[in-house]
């Protein structure tokens, strides 16, 4: 079983409790579950839909738990239509703990994206093709030394 952590922009650069459209998570989850019937997908927004309203104590506990889950995951999928501070930290942790990372972003010149991703897809459509073509499996196998 492959353990996926589904990361991506939530608040981004909003200066209040507003969040970006999270519908991308359902689409990415569907692609993963079609490609890997025997997989688990952890989505922070599904588990904590009201996280932007958490007080600092609860927010800190949840954030640290999510970082631990990234460390334990086999694969981090991160959706970045624009920069995300939390996702950047998750990508750093994934790199430090040998977690295969796929970034879905057009920000291919961004250092964090370039240095901490094992694969980069420009769009969700490209991610779908990457997963369905077998390229994901080949890349993951190479990463794992198979």
Output the CA angle 28-129-101, nearest 5 degrees. 55
Domains and CATH numbers, the chain: 2-143 (3.40.50.450)
Q: What is the pTM of this model?
A: 0.92
Contact 18, 49 (CB under 8 A): no
CB 32 within 8 A of CB 77: yes
Burial class (CB in 10 A: 0-12, 13-18, 19+), 90: buried
Q: What share of the chain is helix, strand, coil (3-state, %, to 5)?
A: 50, 15, 35
85-128 tens-digit pLDDT: 899 999 999 999 999 999 999 999 999 999 999 999 999 999 99
pLDDT of residue 29: 95
Output the average pLDDT for the chain. 90
Residue 52 has pLDDT above 70, yes or no: yes
Residue 73 has pLDDT above 70, yes or no: yes
With cut-offs at 50, 70 and 90, classify the pLDDT of residue 50.
Answer: confident
Which band of pLDDT confidence, cut at 50, 70 and 90, is reported for residue 17? low
> Is residue 53 scored above 80 in pLDDT?
no
Residues in contact with 134: Cβ distance below 8 Å, sequence separation at least 6, in sequence order: none
User: How far apart, in whole angstroms, are the C-alpha atoms of residue 63 and residue 1?
Assistant: 25
- Answer yes or no: is pLDDT of 37 > 80: yes
């Amino acid at each position: 079983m492959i353990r996926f952590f589904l990361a991506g922009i939530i608040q981004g650069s909003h200066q209040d409790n507003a969040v970006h459209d999270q519908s991308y998570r359902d689409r990415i989850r569907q692609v993963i579950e079609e490609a890997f019937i025997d997989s688990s997908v952890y989505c922070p927004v599904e588990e904590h839909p009201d996280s932007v309203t958490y007080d600092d104590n609860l927010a800190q506990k949840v954030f640290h738990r999510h970082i631990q889950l990234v460390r334990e995951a086999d694969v981090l999928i991160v959706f970045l239509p624009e920069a995300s501070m939390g996702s950047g930290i998750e990508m750093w942790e994934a790199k430090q703990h040998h977690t295969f990372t796929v970034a879905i972003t057009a920000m291919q010149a961004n250092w964090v994206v370039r240095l901490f991703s094992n694969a980069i897809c420009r769009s969700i459509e490209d991610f779908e093709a990457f997963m369905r073509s077998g390229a994901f499996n080949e890349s993951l196998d190479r990463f794992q030394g198979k």
